[in-house]
Amino acid sequence: MNLLKFLLAACLASGLAAILIYITGVDTLHGSYHLSEEDLEALHSLQSGFRKCVSANGLGLQAASGRDYCEVTMKFPGETVPKWKDPKTGELEGLSYELNLCEAVATWEQVRNSTTVLTKEYIDALPNGWEDYAWRRINKGVLLNQCENRTLCMEKLSLVLPERPPLFPRQYSRCAVIGNSGDLLKTKFGDEIDSYEAVFRENGAPIQNYTEFVGTKSTFRLLNRGSAKALDKVAELYERGKEVLIVKTTIHDIMNKMIREVPILNKVYLMLGASFGSAAKGTGLKALEFALSICDTVDMYGFTVDPGYKEWTRYFSESRQGHTPLQGRAYYQMMECLGLIKIHSPMRADPDRVVKWLPSRSTIIAARIASEKLLRRVGAGSTNLLATCSIIKKQQKGNDVDMSNLRKAAVEHRKYVKGTTMYPLEHNPGHGQLCTVPNKLIVRKLN
């Protein structure tokens, strides 16, 4: 009889644990962070408002609740006709996508406090930095494998590797990221795009002959592997030397040779980016990430985000396969309804369009704290930004950052982070950061 009572009690306890896991999305009985009622209310408020935002702004998209406060399913109308096929399976692109609001809020809030340009300071602060990291950024050769020859590695990386971050959070106010979609030819956005303080473009997208559609200004250009191999051609797309070129992938011997011999007048940096799991990983998302790390507000143009597409097209060349318009549209709509970006397109052509049901800043902050707890992020629940640091190193002696030309918002942000430079740790499951702090700052790592 006692054994039966024990088994019954065990079953009840197990059932209760399962209910708690279902409600909170995390097993609070196994050493994870405790979610308060305020945390749960913040996540509930975020998801409730998010569903209303998608319904009001998504042009037919709907967001349905998932198994917990984090998961949502973005559903396209049944009459949507997908065109993109998976080249491996031959299956058509789906009409629904599961997204995680907690992952998005926690990661993007971290991006907005981070620097995303690779620096010598970052590599030197990593444990065995040159051996474990630098060689991955270099075209692997017999002499460079594992980067044991530091002099050779420095010779290559020195061309694109600043000592300290050259760009800072909040450095620009209004920014526009321009994709390459053929939809840009349906609306003359040129003058509107030129009104932004900074404009971000991608790969080999031209400006000449398309200015009434894509504008004339270009501040940054994000490059993938193929474009990096044609760096000399890319550098001629705008007024030579004015664009800052951001390479999001490996640095190549070919690219180094061009910088030395052409020469390339533009500043060239390597991007140090966050990991977004299975979400869209193209140059477009990386351009948005880079913009969000240095801008107050970010608007996007030319990403084919609206219904009615037949196939993905470029505004400057023939159609190309390989893009997933529906998946990208679902993810970008999530970003808009989290207040990260504003979408412009032929069906959203009003520059004064108001995005309805956006979450307040206080809701985002509360949801970010709760999300970090659920995801067991480093420093979850702490109001001290340094608590998110997986690695803390004091800054080595060097030139101080010139603050004289920074806008007030950027200066205030540097005070907010106590002068600390925060770097995302690429592909780190805990999504911690590497933080370098001023020599005079005494740091106590929070557990």
Closest CA to 157 of 121, 194, 110: 121
pLDDT above 80: residue 181:
yes
- 257: confidence class by pLDDT, cuts 50, 70, 90: confident
Q: What is the DSSP string of 227-264?
A: HHTTHHHHTTSSSTTTSEEEE-S-B-HHHHHHHHHTT-
Cβ-contact 229, 252 below 8 angstroms: yes
pLDDT at 275: 72
pLDDT above 50: residue 14:
no
Tell which wins on pLDDT, 357 or 225: 357
pLDDT at 79: 85
- The predicted model gives 161-182 an average pLDDT of 94
- The predicted model gives 185-192 an average pLDDT of 96
- 191: confidence class by pLDDT, cuts 50, 70, 90: very high
Question: Does residue 12 lie within any of the structural domains?
Answer: yes
Tell which wins on pLDDT, 75 or 17: 75
Question: Does residue 151 lie within any of the structural domains?
Answer: no
- Terminal Cα distance for the chain, rounded: 46
**Least confident window among 19-33, 51-65, 326-340, 391-405:** 19-33
Question: Does residue 425 lie within any of the structural domains?
Answer: no
Q: What is the mean pLDDT of the chain?
A: 84
- 249: confidence class by pLDDT, cuts 50, 70, 90: confident
pLDDT above 60: residue 415:
yes
Question: Does residue 41 lie within any of the structural domains?
Answer: yes
Question: Does residue 85 lie within any of the structural domains?
Answer: yes
List, for residues 76-122, the tens digit of each pLDDT value: 998 888 877 777 888 888 899 999 999 999 999 999 999 999 998 99
Question: Does residue 254 lie within any of the structural domains?
Answer: no
- 17: confidence class by pLDDT, cuts 50, 70, 90: very low
How buried is 147 (Cβ within 10 angstroms: 0-12 exposed, 13-18 middle, 19+ buried)? buried
pLDDT above 90: residue 178:
yes
Q: How many helices (H) and strands (E) does the chain have?
A: 15, 13
Residues 6+ apart with CB under 8 A from 64: 51, 72, 73, 75
Cβ-contact 119, 165 below 8 angstroms: yes
What residues make up the domain containing 67? 2-102
Question: Does residue 9 lie within any of the structural domains?
Answer: yes
Token pair for residue 360?
A: 């307040």
pLDDT at 19: 32
Q: What angle do CA 190, 194, 200 make, to 5 degrees?
A: 100
- 137: confidence class by pLDDT, cuts 50, 70, 90: low
Which three-class secondary structure state does DSSP give residue 57? Answer: helix
Question: Does residue 126 lie within any of the structural domains?
Answer: no
**Least confident window among 24-38, 89-103, 250-264, 299-313:** 24-38
Closest CA to 119 of 140, 139, 133: 133
Q: How many domains does the chain have?
A: 1
Which three-class secondary structure state does DSSP give residue 392? Answer: strand
